């Protein structure tokens, strides 16, 4: 999720500004190890799935925000590098409510992938409106690409080895990517889909947009509590999943295993 208008700064950048952070590499290692544990059935099945899905989701969150940041950097906002956005460090994207509280709550109780990071972009230095829109587009597009990659083994009939828990976890992780992508493409102020449209709005509409934007994600979440909208949303998500070849029964199994406390 890309936000904000802040003063830019162009200066020489150390290589560390572009290197993956130790925190990200640690999460990536946890994803790989927990994936192996889930594949082989090592240890507690439900704990393995929880670690695999949680670490995989965090990796995807970092990639989502990195996509925003790298396009912003190429588009003229070099300050994203000074803020550490190009290191894939999840702590650099942190926003107390959007990054921690809401994503965790929704993942635990609803099985919805809610990207919660925040990349602050100085839109005034971006070269053109197309690039400005592209900055918002690439975040949810990254989630969609990850969903396709995670679904490929099912679509190609490669889901033969490993344990059933592994494939259930992989299906649930793919499902989270779909929910994140579809939610973020909603054309609402404060969400990537709305930010994508912002550069093309008239000044009057942009002023109204800026008034609503700080509450856009909260409004979207509130709408999801409506049974009608919630049913419609999941119908759309499962329709996309079916089109890609994602087994819906494995998604349900993955959610059950992930929520080991219930």
Catalytic residue positions, numbered: 65
Nearest to 49 by CA among 35, 30, 29, 28: 35
Q: Is 180 in contact with 140 (CB distance < 8 Å)?
A: yes
| Residue where the block lists tokens 């093309």 | 200
Q: What is d(CA 218, CA 242) in angstroms, rounded to the nearest whole number? A: 29
Q: What is d(CA 142, CA 137) in angstroms, rounded to the nearest whole number? A: 9
């Amino acid at each position: 999720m890309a936000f904000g208008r802040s003063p830019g700064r162009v200066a020489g950048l150390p290589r560390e500004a572009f290197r993956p952070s130790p925190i990200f590499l640690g999460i990536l290692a946890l994803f790989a190890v927990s994936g192996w544990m889930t594949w082989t059935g090592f240890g507690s099945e439900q704990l393995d799935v929880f670690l695999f899905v949680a670490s995989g989701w965090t990796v995807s969150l970092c990639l989502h925000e990195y996509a925003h940041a790298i396009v912003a950097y190429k588009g003229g906002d070099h300050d994203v590098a000074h803020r550490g956005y190009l290191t894939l460090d999840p702590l650099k994207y942190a926003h107390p409510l959007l990054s921690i509280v809401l994503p965790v709550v929704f993942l635990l109780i609803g099985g919805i992938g809610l990207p919660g990071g925040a990349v602050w972009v100085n839109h005034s230095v971006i070269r053109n409106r197309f690039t400005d829109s592209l900055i918002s587009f690439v975040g949810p597009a990254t989630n969609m690409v990850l969903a396709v990659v995670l679904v490929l083994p099912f679509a190609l009939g490669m889901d033969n080895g490993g344990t059933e828990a592994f494939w259930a976890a992989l299906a649930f992780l793919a499902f989270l990517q779909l929910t994140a992508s579809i939610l973020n493409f909603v054309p609402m102020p404060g969400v990537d889909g709305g930010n994508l449209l912002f550069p093309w709005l008239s000044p009057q509409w942009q002023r109204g947009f800026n008034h609503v934007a700080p509450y856009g994600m909260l409004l979207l979440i509130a709408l999801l509590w409506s049974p009608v909208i919630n049913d419609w949303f999941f119908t759309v998500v499962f329709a996309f999943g079916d089109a890609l070849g994602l087994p819906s029964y494995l998604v349900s199994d993955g959610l059950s295993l992930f929520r080991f406390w219930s």
